[in-house]
Amino acid sequence: MVVSKFGMRSDVLTYNLSGMGCGASLISVDLAKDMLRRHRGKALVVSTEIITPNLYYGNERGFLLQNTLFRCGGAAIVLSNKWSDGRRAWYKLLHTVRVQGTGEKDYQCVFETQDEEGHRGVRLSKDIVKVAGKCMEKNMTTIGPYVLPLSEQIK
């Protein structure tokens, strides 16, 4: 849609990561970074979060919470590996880190399904805080050596 709307060339690569929620934003930036390692140019990352298709109309608590946590929104960023674009850039992408849990509780803590009455929605389990905490710990452990001074890493 973006390619045709703005009249971009037909050889422009596009990737659709729909259905992944806000997690797709980091995946998109990481994908663009990897593409720019191999090809000279620019990459446009457009990310949206649209809750409307999953708005829950039932009465189960595990499903109702997602109606208050998630909203609609969007963002876009242009990444470039051209030296001449460096003068205009506001930020420099140094590192991307993405971790995820692999256990059954990790998989089930945020899950799109139907309730007993057949209303579709996203169920959030009570394990979500514990799962998110473990993932944040793995994330910090992974990115720490890239961003912390040696004196902090030794502690």
Instruction: Output the tens digit of pLDDT for each of the chain's 155 residues.
Output: 778 888 888 888 888 877 777 778 888 999 999 999 998 899 999 888 887 777 899 999 888 888 888 778 888 999 999 989 988 999 998 888 888 888 899 888 888 889 999 999 888 899 999 999 999 999 999 999 988 898 888 87
Q: Closest by alpha carbon to 69, among 132, 116, 118?
A: 132
Please spell the DSSP secondary structure of 3-25, one letter per residue: HHHTT--TT------TTSTTHHH
State both tokens at 145: 């050596």
**pTM confidence score:** 0.73
A 10 A CB-CB count for 3 gives: 13
Which stretches of 1-155 are DSSP H helices?
A: 2-5, 23-38, 61-69, 104-108, 128-147, 150-154
